[in-house]
Chain A
Amino acid sequence: MASASSRVLLRRRAAGVLLRERLRLGPEPPRRAVSHFTFYPDPEPSEYGPTQKMNLFQAITSALDNTLSRDPTAVIYGEDVAFGGVFRCTVGLRDKYGKDRVFNTPLCEQGIVGFGIGVAVAGATSIAEIQFADYIYPAFDQIVNEAAKYRYRSGDLFNCGSLTIRAPWGCVGHGALYHSQCPESFFAHCPGIKVVIPRSPVQAKGLLLSCIEDKNPCIFFEPKILYRAAVEQVPVEPYHIPLSQAEVLQEGSDVTLIAWGTQVHVIREVATMAQDKLGVSCEVIDLKTILPWDKDTICKSVIKTGRLLISHEAPLTGGFASEISSTVQEECFLNLEAPIARVCGYDTPFPHIFEAFYVPNKWKCFDALRKIINY
Chain B
Amino acid sequence: MQKMLAILSQVLRGPAQKTGAASEAARVLVASRNYADFASEATFDIKKCDLHRLEEGPPSQAVLTREEGLKFYRSMQTIRRMELKSDQLYKQKIIRGFCHLYDGQEACCVGLEAGIKPTDHLITAYRAHGFTYTRGISVKEILAELTGRKGGCAKGKGGSMHMYAKNFYGGNGIVGAQVPLGAGIALACKYFGNDEICLTLYGDGAANQGQIFETYNMAALWKLPCIFICENNRYGMGTSVERAAASTDYFKRGDYIPGIRLDGMDVLCVREATKFAAEHCRSGKGPIVMELQTYRYHGHSMSDPGISYRTREEIQEVRSKSDPITLLKDRMVNNNLASVEELKEIDIEVRKEIEEAAQFATTDPEPPLEELCNHIYSNEPPFEVRGPNPWIKYKSVS
Contact = CB atoms under 8 A, between A and B. Distances in A.
Interface of A: 1-2, 6, 27, 29-30, 32-33, 79-80, 82-83, 86, 104-108, 110-111, 134-135, 137-138, 173-179, 316-317, 341-349, 351-354, 357-358, 360, 364, 367-368, 371
Interface residues of B, number: 54
Contacts of A79: 237, 239
Contacts of B283: none
A236 to B, nearest CB: 27
19 contacts: A2-B387, A29-B94, A33-B93, A83-B308, A108-B210, A138-B210, A176-B161, A316-B389, A341-B390, A342-B390, A344-B388, A346-B386, A346-B387, A346-B388, A347-B385, A348-B376, A364-B388, A364-B392, A368-B391
Contacts of A105: 244
Interface string B142-183: 000001100000001111011000000000011111000000
Nearest to A313: B388
Contact of B158 (A27, A343, A352): A352
Interface in B203-248: 205-206, 208-211, 236-239, 243-245
Interface of B: 92-94, 96-98, 147-148, 156-159, 161-162, 173-177, 205-206, 208-211, 236-239, 243-245, 303-304, 308-309, 362-363, 366-367, 369, 371-373, 376, 385-392, 394
A72 to B, nearest CB: 24
Contacts of A174: 96-97
Contacts of A137: 174
A40 to B, nearest CB: 21
A341 B389 contact: yes
Nearest to B394: A346
Contacts of B173: 134, 177-178
A15 B236 CA distance: 44
Given A79-B239, A346-B387, A86 B94 contact: no
A106 B162 contact: no
Given A342-B390, A348-B372, A352-B148, 6 more contacts: A108-B176, A138-B177, A138-B211, A175-B98, A346-B373, A353-B159
A104 B208 CA distance: 13
Nearest to B209: A108
Given A176-B159, A342-B389, A354 B94 contact: no
Secondary structure at the B interface, as helix, strand, loop or mixed, is loop
A352 B239 contact: no
B366 to A, nearest CB: 6
B367 A364 contact: no
A32 B366 CA distance: 11
Contact of A353 (B174, B303, B367, B385): B367
A110 B173 CA distance: 16
Contacts of B309: 83
A180 B388 CA distance: 16
Nearest to B359: A27
A83 B236 CA distance: 14
A29 B93 contact: yes
A114 B277 CA distance: 36
- Chain B CB within 10 Å, residue with most, of A175, A341, A352: A352
A316 to B, nearest CB: 5
A174 B94 CA distance: 11
A316 B386 contact: yes
Contacts of B148: 30, 352-353
Contacts of A29: 92-94
A106 B385 contact: no
A352 B159 contact: yes
Given A79-B239, A353-B156, A364-B388, A178 B206 contact: no
A109 to B, nearest CB: 8
Contacts of B209: 107-108, 110, 138
B388 A176 contact: no
A224 to B, nearest CB: 12
Contact of A343 (B362, B369, B388): B388
Nearest to B156: A353
Given A176-B159, A347-B385, A353-B148, A106 B244 contact: yes
Contacts of A347: 376, 385-387
Nearest to B175: A107
Contacts of A108: 176, 208-210
Contacts of A6: 369
Nearest to A175: B97
Contacts of A364: 388-389, 392
A343 B371 CA distance: 21
Nearest to A344: B388
Contact of B389 (A175, A178, A344, A351): A344
A266 B70 CA distance: 57
Contacts of B239: 79-80, 82, 104, 106
B161 A317 contact: no
Nearest to A103: B243
A107 B363 CA distance: 38
B363 A353 contact: no
A106 B205 contact: yes
Contacts of B97: 174-176, 179, 352
Nearest to A85: B238
Contacts of A32: 96
A371 B391 contact: yes
A4 to B, nearest CB: 11
Contacts of A177: 158-159, 161-162, 173
A363 B375 CA distance: 27
Nearest to B387: A346
Nearest to A114: B210
Given A135-B174, A368-B389, A110 B236 contact: no
A107 B376 contact: no
Contacts of B238: 80, 83
